Amino acid sequence: MGNDGFEQMSLLGDAPVAKPALNRLFFALMPDEQDAARLFQLGAELRMAHGVRGRPIGENRLHITLHHLGDFPEVPELMVNRARQAGETLAHPTFALSFDIVMSFGKHSSNPPFVMVGSEENLSGVISLQREVGVRMAHAGLAREVEKSFTPHMTLAYDLKTVPAQAIAPVSWHARELVLVHSLIGQSVYFVLGRWPLKPTA
């Protein structure tokens, strides 16, 4: 890991040149291996049913983003340490969640994500966890990175086709841990930098 160096000097030495952001950090929920395989298969059926032919999100990358911490030229060690501190103080119970709608986000995007979403009632645990993680982040010095607006969703693929919101049979799984993810932008590669189990329900 390097520092936060967001700029480098140009060859002429007279103006800073922004480095490309190659690294992304985010807090997420990820299904365990068994649920991921099942969700991937269900996602394949949904893509086929709705004519979505874009490249699918791999089963080892299926997730719900809770807080996007930023995109960086190099992984910022200080932010990772603060995020880990936030994760270590988490005390949220495990919960079940369910998606019952598929749709495309971003009507004006050329390659919109095809996602699963659901009602607030079916995703109340996700919403509660996202808020608690935000509180823990603020206490750890990451208040600026807390997502104020949040729509729980799981992206299945990106495609040229835009799919209007449509009801589906509920797709359920059980959230058991919070993860801190480092992704390489545009390379479909994830590294998990931290895992924190949610508290078993009584």
Q: Which positions are catalytic?
A: 63, 153
Burial group, residue 39, by CB count within 10 angstroms (0-12, 13-18, 19+): buried
**Total number of residues shown for the chain:** 202
Q: Which residues lie below 8 Å from residue 169, measured CB to CB, with a gap of 6+?
A: 100
Burial group, residue 55, by CB count within 10 angstroms (0-12, 13-18, 19+): exposed
The beta-strand segments (E) located in 30-159 are 64-72, 95-104, 113-117, 154-158
Please tell me the distance from the alpha carbon of residue 202 to that of residue 191, in angstroms, as a whole number: 32
Q: Are 166 and 50 in contact (CB under 8 A)?
A: yes
Please tell me the distance from the alpha carbon of residue 15 to that of residue 107, in angstroms, as a whole number: 38
DSSP bridge pairs for 16: 9
Q: Which helix (H) or strand (E) holds 131?
A: helix 124-139
